[in-house]
Amino acid sequence: MSLKNFGKAALIVAVVAACGKNRVQVTDNGLKYQIHEQADSPRKGKVGDILTLHLTLLNNKDSILRDTHKEGAPFQMLLQVPPFKGSYEEGLTMLGKGDSATFYVSADSLFTRAMQPLPPGVQKGTDIGIAVKVINVQSEDEYKKTQAADFEKQKGIDAKIIENYVAKNGLAGKVQKTESGVYYVVTQPGSGPAPSRGDLVQVHYTGKLLDGKVFDSSKTNPQSGGKPVQFPVGVGQVIPGWEEGVMKMHKGEKATLIIPSTLAYGPRGNQGIPPNSVLLFDIDLIDIQKGQAGQPGMPQGMPQPGR
């Protein structure tokens, strides 16, 4: 074959490959998909792996239902056996690190299996588009090692941020610190007892970012109706930084907790809270009921465990 003809042949192969890459295909189990990018990585996702990926959910009119790019943190999931024919878990086994694709899954199957109603904008009998970009594929052991290393690194970063905040705001000499790294400043002493693990505490709280922006408050949160919230302390129903800080307080006391991200919402963040954020909480410990761990769980509006 002449070099001229070889060039034409190569061009044809490239065009065919490009067309095939974005062509909608269907697996034997009925999953419709488009591959957008696929490297020659030998490591594809398999059941039991932890996948880190960015994910965009689209309805049949291409309106975005969720986009982790805008949430500031990728989505992490344990890859499980596909729960139904045509589920996107099957498609994820085709992808490796750096690959991207869109899967089209029956909305009825997706939400009915999860025992959830169809969300606004999603019609019965339509498909949900799930666009994914795989950032990493790890075994459970690899994931745990990475998490531990990232946790230790972030602890050092948070400690420096808090130390700078304390110095800048003239809190040196006023602030106390727990063994795990929660800083707290008593703003109004209390004369009552301190809560023990399992006690039901009642508090008012206001949560802020370090720049002073309020992201939540029991006094204004419509879910709590402006009333104090209550929860059993020391049993994992709130973020670890709350557990430690509140158990250092006394009934009637008011304090400001400075909580490192590793004891708050970590790399995932939360609504109104960017990933890896050091947080401030103004806490008013109103009441303590001894040994009430068996009471119902915390009301809506409470910060959830940082996991």
Q: What are the tens digits of pLDDT across the range 168-198? A: 999 998 999 998 999 999 999 998 999 999 9
Under 8 Å CB-to-CB from 170, ≥6 apart: which residues? none
Q: What are the tens digits of pLDDT across the range 274-305? A: 989 999 999 999 999 987 544 433 333 344 43
Q: What are the tens digits of pLDDT across the range 135-176? A: 999 999 999 999 999 999 999 999 999 999 999 999 998 999
The catalytic position among 239, 258, 259, 273 is 239
The catalytic position among 99, 205, 259, 286 is 205
Give yes or no: 33 in active site: no
Instruction: Please check whether residue 34 is in contact with residue 102, taking contact to mean a CB–CB distance below 8 angstroms.
Output: yes
Give yes or no: 183 in active site: no
**Does residue 87 surpass a pLDDT of 50?**
yes
Give yes or no: 265 in active site: yes
The catalytic position among 99, 127, 158, 216 is 216
Question: For residue 31, what pLDDT band results from cuts at 50, 70 and 90?
Answer: very high
| Spatial distance between the Cα atoms of 292 and 232, rounded to a whole number of angstroms | 7
The catalytic position among 104, 127, 265, 288 is 265
Q: What is the pLDDT of residue 4?
A: 44
| Spatial distance between the Cα atoms of 239 and 261, rounded to a whole number of angstroms | 10
The catalytic position among 281, 283, 284, 286 is 281
Give yes or no: 239 in active site: yes
Instruction: Please check whether residue 292 is in contact with residue 198, taking contact to mean a CB–CB distance below 8 angstroms.
Output: yes
3-state helix, strand, coil split of the chain in percent (to 5) is 25, 30, 45
Give yes or no: 281 in active site: yes
Task: Tell the burial category of 290 from Cβ atoms under 10 Å away from its Cβ (0-12, 13-18, 19+).
Answer: exposed
